Structure 1
Amino acid sequence: PLIGLSMDTLKEERWQGDRDLFVTRATELGADVLVQSANSDDTRQISEVQALISRRVDVLVIVPHNGGAMAKAVNMAHDAGIPVLAYDRLITDCDLDLYMTFDNEKVGELQAQFLVDHLPKDRKKKIVRIYGAKTDNNALLYKRGQDKVLAPLIDRSEIDVVHEDWTQDWKPENAKKIASAAITKAGANFDAILASNDGTAGGAIQALSEEGLAGKVLVTGQDAELSACQRIVNGIQAMTIYKPLSQLAKQAAEAATKMARSKPVFALGKINNGKIEVPSILLDVVVVTKENMMDTVVKDGFHKAAEVYRSLPETQQSR
């Protein structure tokens, strides 16, 4: 069978990993994979899907740049009799066949709970919130999860959000601008930056570094990117959320191969995409800190210890 994989972008290390793991597993199962990457451009992604359809793929796996815009791609695929699996990001308002992702609302809850647990209890806490891209449904889910934890504390005035904004296209340079705006507005007078992923955390930390605040302000993240893991062991970023991508990519490759062969896929979850309850498979996520780095990210082979601890003096390296 032939699988078409249409990706939003391959800029981040994270997505390169997904692609490699997916292709490897699909190949093991006897499938061929055609990969396209749209460089965060909706129009380009639609035309790439059209190209994959004309190559007569048996199934389409899509990581949408914009979950709303890609409904058109799903409809085109269905017109050609091709089923569609949305990978890690939901495609809305269409008859999507399958959705595979992590428990994204849980990601937001864990980020916010970590922040609450690690900030001073005896006074009002000031935080900056950096959300993801508005075009990515997951960014809304991370925020919803964060809100679950934070809303009661904000209502009771235990937490004050001094600045908040959405990061266009998830770009670190845009997150850096948001953090700089927060510093201009609030001075150095805040406790934490609730950054929705490691890219936005990295951008925010650049802004903090320029003001000599890196390591003094708690910063959250997500994706367990190598640079973030290095920042965590160096005490500059507080935590990240590890999403076992190998599980997602392998299970998605297995599901896609079954779909390509017209075999059933068992999906216990249901997620509403505005049109239907999409059969969904949700995987668990893990909070990663300096303390459990070796037992999670390194143990899983996601990163090598030598890479994570490369920037630390020998004596401080975790054994």
Structure 2
Amino acid sequence: MKKITLLFVALITLVLSACSMESPFLENAKEDTAGGNASFKIGFSISTLNNPFFVTLSEGAKANAQEKGAEISIVDAQDDASKQASDVEDLIQQGVDMILINPVDSSAVGSAVESANAAGIPVITVDRSTEGGEVVSHIASDNVAGGVLAGEYLLELAGEGAKVAMLEGTAGSSAARDRGEGFLKAVDGKVDLVSSLTANFDRGEGLTVMENMLQANPEIQAVFAQNDEMALGALEAIEASGKDITVIGFDATDDAVAKVEEGKMAATVAQKPEEIGKAAIETAVAYLNGETVEEFVPVDLELVK
């Protein structure tokens, strides 16, 4: 009888000890639930990390994800629409909770968005929109308004009737389409647009295309480049030619702002990429927490001159 009593006491002690102890797993689970974000996995397919603008954008996203306690996986599409589609499929297979996409090509990315839709994974587009599939929100500056800003200032500097050229971004991207639309809205019928060619948002291509433009149209007085990388390439070509031509870019990257401060570039439209990245994560986490989010989240822009 004494042995049975001792055994009963031991069992009771063991049960009480177990109840008073919390495993690390349970403790972490409580923290995750309390924080609301720690278990979220966010995939971010970005068009290219060979462009300072998108590097800054991705850094803003990473910083805010860390602050929110969310896990983020950033993949570089290297300006290749096919690679981007493959990258999104990989993120789907990884079972992420949300996919952010900064499209290489707004039309081509539609099938990737639809694949995420079919897998039940919500999608947010960042800086550039998609022409296919369903997204819960789009985070970007108003690129049309930015193009208008650039056009109005170019008109102010060059004057009506000036011979003007435009360097276009990647064909099919919403940013190129919208910035071009805004610029043309501001200058249509007021300047002589002698050339408008794509340089794919690339500095090297901006240099080459600008050289060709100057050979064909040596009378060019002003240039609008739909991003700063192309503007900086164009500036190299212009400086080599010895001409004095007004150059306006878009994005306000550090290199471009430095050229504006030196008086070598007339202006650049500041799109605040870090804020776009932060807003994308803010919106993603809010949606995953069951909150209602806006279909379009605008980020302020301004003219740096």
TM-score normalized with structure 2 length = 0.84
RMSD, matched Cα: 1.4
- Stretch of structure 1 that moved more, 56-65 or 176-185: 176-185
Q: Which one of the candidate residues 219, 229, 232 is aligned to 1:202?
A: 232
CA distance in 1, matches of 2:88, 2:220: 45
Q: Which residue of 2 aligns with 1:77?
A: 116
* CA deviation after TM superposition for structure 1 residue 256, in Å: 0.8
Q: Which residue of 2 aligns with 1:186?
A: 217
1:259-298 mapped onto 2 (5 Å cutoff): 259-265=287-293, 267=294, 279-289=295-305
* CA deviation after TM superposition for structure 1 residue 264, in Å: 2.0
1:234-313 mapped onto 2 (5 Å cutoff): 234-265=262-293, 267=294, 279-289=295-305
Q: Which one of the candidate residues 82, 97, 119 is aligned to 2:136?
A: 97
State the SS of the aligned residue for 1:112. helix
Q: Which residue of 2 aligns with 1:222?
A: 250
Structure number with bigger Rg: 2
State the SS of the aligned residue for 1:164. strand
State the SS of the aligned residue for 2:260. helix
CA distance in 2, matches of 1:127, 1:148: 14
CA distance in 2, matches of 1:5, 1:262: 20
Amino acid at match of 1:284: D
* CA deviation after TM superposition for structure 1 residue 118, in Å: 1.1
Contact 2:270/2:304 (<8 A) preserved: yes
Structure 1, gaps ≥5 residues long: 154-158, 268-278, 290-319
- 1:291-317, CA deviations, whole angstroms, 9 ceiling, x for partnerless residues? xxxxxxxxxxxxxxxxxxxxxxxxxxx
- Does 1:18 pair with 2:57? yes
CA distance in 1, matches of 2:253, 2:142: 18
* CA deviation after TM superposition for structure 1 residue 259, in Å: 2.4
State the SS of the aligned residue for 1:207. helix
Change (3 A) 1:43 1:190: closer
1:155-194 mapped onto 2 (5 Å cutoff): 159-167=191-199, 169-187=200-218, 189-194=219-224
- Does 1:135 pair with 2:187? no
- Does 1:48 pair with 2:90? no
* CA deviation after TM superposition for structure 1 residue 120, in Å: 4.0
Contact 2:54/2:273 (<8 A) preserved: no
- Does 1:146 pair with 2:177? no
* CA deviation after TM superposition for structure 1 residue 108, in Å: 0.5
State the SS of the aligned residue for 2:249. coil
* CA deviation after TM superposition for structure 1 residue 81, in Å: 0.9
* CA deviation after TM superposition for structure 1 residue 250, in Å: 1.5
Contact 2:42/2:71 (<8 A) preserved: yes
- How many positions carry a matched residue from both structures? 266
Contact 1:59/1:259 (<8 A) preserved: no
CA distance in 2, matches of 1:46, 1:90: 15
Change (3 A) 1:218 1:57: same
State the SS of the aligned residue for 1:46. helix
* CA deviation after TM superposition for structure 1 residue 222, in Å: 1.0
- 1:267-314, CA deviations, whole angstroms, 9 ceiling, x for partnerless residues? 1xxxxxxxxxxx21122210001xxxxxxxxxxxxxxxxxxxxxxxxx
Which structure has more helix as a fraction of its residues?
A: 2
- Structure 1 stretches of at least 4 aligned residues deviating more than 3 Å after TM superposition: none
1:104-143 mapped onto 2 (5 Å cutoff): 104-120=143-159, 124-143=161-180
CA distance in 1, matches of 2:51, 2:247: 20
Contact 1:197/1:221 (<8 A) preserved: yes
TM-score normalized with structure 1 length = 0.80
CA distance in 1, matches of 2:118, 2:51: 32
Q: Which residue of 2 aligns with 1:272?
A: none
Amino acid at match of 1:150: V
Contact 1:83/1:259 (<8 A) preserved: no
* CA deviation after TM superposition for structure 1 residue 56, in Å: 0.8
CA distance in 2, matches of 1:86, 1:262: 19
- Does 1:231 pair with 2:259? yes
Structure 2, gaps ≥5 residues long: 1-39
CA distance in 2, matches of 1:129, 1:246: 26
- 1:47-69, CA deviations, whole angstroms, 9 ceiling, x for partnerless residues? 11111111111110011111111
CA distance in 1, matches of 2:233, 2:274: 26
Contact 1:2/1:260 (<8 A) preserved: no
